Structure 1
Amino acid sequence: MRNIFYLFVLIVFLWACKKMDSTYKQFVVPDGIVYTGKANMPVVHAGRNRAKISWLRGSDPNLAAARIYWNNFTDSADVPIPPKGDTITYMINNLPEKSYSFVIKTFDGKGHTSVPVELFGASYGDVYQSSLLSRPVDESILYTDSVSLKWGGADISNGAYATEVKYTSLSGNERVLRFPASAATSGITDMKPGTTCQYRTLFLPDSLSIDTFYTSYATSKPFLFSPTNWQIIAFSSQHPGDENLVTNVIDGKPGTRWHAWVGNSSYPHFFVVDMGVQHMITSFTLYRKTDDDRACDTFQLLTSIDNISWTDAGVFNFNRTINDGQSYDIPAHPKARYFKFIGLTGPQSYIVLGDISAYGF
């Protein structure tokens, strides 16, 4: 009797299992689900209103195509996958400027698909362009045979990575030099005398960007002439002692002084500078000796090509109570190798002066 009971239980169990099988049979795929190799290590390369998607092909030999989706699957592009090659790339053009989520699926010839792969990127355009700030030139110094550009801060956090300088070379050809944004100063050794240069800053929105963005070209301001090779070839007087030498007025240091001879000189006081080469002069800057108010009240500037014929550049007022340099434009922009400073009036019979600078091309 007990054996009959066990037989009955076994029959019920087998019947129940068969019923379960029929319930899930519709969800079972014969031989299992086949997935193709997914996009391996995909990357988005941002660009100007475009983006390049790339990934490693992988080892699946049956891959035939891929499909890239964006804008929540409302836009897509089909990408053929060649039988050979390590990397698959596709350029999506006409992308409005914004951030994107891209999804990649691969397919084989039988319609099998891969697990989707999602990656994030962006397209850049006019909004990003409008945010770019050109790196400024804080000071440009013209030496006898070279130009030195001292740069201000670069907007590295926004993607600035280099600055381009366009100028006319000694041979008369246009040249463009590129300097890294990390450089504090840059030099040009073959710039044609009497010319200026233009500069712009280059940006990459991110390290993988395929497009470079540029600021507009800016024209350099007049160069500060380096006094390294200047010589004073004539002067009215100087008080005894090295601290009073007339050459101190062209050493680039307002803290040193030219002191005319006390008790043995009177206005007008003068000195003549030979700059060594001919320049086009646009302005002068005059400094009193730091914290010393015994400078002149008025002065005159003259320029010359040959140290024989002189051109009057004007008579000017000077505020001898401030340390800051005071700039004086020379509208005629004379070409000159020599210039002459003449102190006309002041509070004492002698003069004390700090420094003089000249600017131009």
Structure 2
Amino acid sequence: MKKTYHFSLILFAAICLVSACRKMDATYKEYVVPSGLVYPGKAIAIAQSGRNRVQIVWPKGVDKTVVKAKVYWNSFADSVVVDVAAITGDTVKVMVDNLQEKNYTFVIRTFDAQGNISVPVEVNGGSYGERYQSQLLTRPVNSTLINAAGKLTINWGGADVANGAYASEIKYTDVSGAAKTQIFPVLLKTTEVKTTEITDMLANTNYQFRTIFRPDSLSVDKFYTSYSDGGLFSIDKGDWHVVAFSSQHPGGDNAAVNFIDGTEHTRWHTCAGCSNYPHWIVIDMGAPRILTQFGVWRTDFDSPGGDKRGPDKFEFLTSTDNVTWVSQGSFDFDHNLNGEQRYVLPNSPKARYFKFVGTQGSDSNMVLGEISAYGL
């Protein structure tokens, strides 16, 4: 009797469950697609930034039923239709032009010939314009060194890598007289490149440079700063040698060659007790250069505060052959001042040799630290 009762309860529960399921099926029947929903292959896309535009890119994929796609932006207010079936390559590229400078969210949906729609895909991309351009700074040139063989070494300042600086562009005239442009990366892996060498620039000419930016690594467009002139070159003293000099005090610490060794911490000391003004030295730069400026330092060798035995006045002369000399003027020198004292040569003479002549000073002998030349 007890078994019959239990069986009856189970049977009643099963009948109720079947009845409930039939009612539920009736409720949702109108929403069920008999053959199931079809979703074409979705676009696995990326957005590439650009100048007032963004490019959307994705592979065509293995779903050959996809015949078109639609890209939406501005919260579906704007869109563009893409004829995927007409694309012969394996990549779909959609350029969205005339965009304001801001970030965008793009929604991509693909369609098959029966009108079935893929699940939506969202990608984000930025459009850059005048606001971004106005923030870009040219990477500065700290100095430019040229040697007798014509090799130019550009020493760079810091680049605005955080804002997208990735290369420097150098424009110059090569040895054949042709205009030439070279691109040099700002970074080598993760290390900032500090120097650039150019070996084929036409002698006695200058160069121009600018910095190239990309807002991000996927950007389809580059941004450029304005060109800047290369400015003055430092003439490489590695090629210089002393041709002649008036005198030097005994000992290597006093040698005339110290006047061109690249530091004001050494000295050229003319013979003490056995020389008088004028004191002079002739330098061969190794190749003809157009000189526009030169600089002179007093020394701090053996005189930490600076040696005051420099001249009060000197003359600077130039020559192309070490025979015929042209005076470029008489100049004042402050023997109480440390650091480089720079002088302009208004005539910009072309010369291979120059002569420095100390003409007047407070002592009979003369002590100086260094001399440099600048030009093209």
TM-score range (shorter-chain normalised) is over 0.9
Distance of aligned partners of 1:7 and 1:48 in 2 relative to their CA distance in 1, 3 Å threshold: closer
1:229 positional shift: 2.1
Find out whether 1:211 has 2:230 as its counterpart.
no
What whole-Å deviation, never above 9, does each CA across 1:234-270 have from its counterpart, x for those lacking one? Answer: 2111101111111110111111110010000111211
Please give the residue correspondences for 1:1-361 in structure 2 after superposition, counting only pairs within 5 Å.
Answer: 17-40=21-44, 42-82=45-85, 85-145=89-149, 146-182=151-187, 183-290=193-300, 291-361=306-376
Q: Is the 8 A contact 2:50 2:220 kept in 1?
A: yes
Question: Take 1:113 and 1:233, find their aligned partners in 2: how far apart are those partners?
Answer: 86
Question: Take 1:282 and 1:152, find their aligned partners in 2: how far apart are those partners?
Answer: 23
What whole-Å deviation, never above 9, does each CA across 1:291-347 have from its counterpart, x for those lacking one? Answer: 322211221111122333322212212222232111101111111122111112222
Question: Take 2:20 and 2:169, find their aligned partners in 1: how far apart are those partners?
Answer: 81
Question: Take 1:11 and 1:120, find their aligned partners in 2: how far apart are those partners?
Answer: 54
Question: Take 1:274 and 1:9, find their aligned partners in 2: how far apart are those partners?
Answer: 113
1:19 positional shift: 4.0
Q: Is the 8 A contact 2:99 2:127 kept in 1?
A: yes
TM-score (norm 2): 0.90
Question: Take 2:148 and 2:17, find their aligned partners in 1: how far apart are those partners?
Answer: 104
What whole-Å deviation, never above 9, does each CA across 1:13-69 have from its counterpart, x for those lacking one? Answer: 7665544433222222222222111112x1111111111111122222211111001
Distance of aligned partners of 1:24 and 1:154 in 2 relative to their CA distance in 1, 3 Å threshold: same
Distance of aligned partners of 1:113 and 1:234 in 2 relative to their CA distance in 1, 3 Å threshold: same
Q: How many residues align structurally?
A: 359
TM-score (norm 1): 0.93
1:8 positional shift: 9.3
Question: Take 2:11 and 2:239, find their aligned partners in 1: how far apart are those partners?
Answer: 118
Query: Which ranges in structure 2 are unaligned for 5 or more consecutive residues?
Result: 188-192, 301-305
Question: Take 2:242 and 2:11, find their aligned partners in 1: how far apart are those partners?
Answer: 126
Measured on the aligned residues, the alpha-carbon RMSD in Å equals: 2.2
Instruction: Name the SS for the 1:228 alignment partner.
Output: helix
Query: Which ranges in structure 1 are unaligned for 5 or more consecutive residues?
Result: none
Structure 1 range deviating more: 178-187 or 100-109: 178-187
Question: Take 1:294 and 1:4, find their aligned partners in 2: how far apart are those partners?
Answer: 125
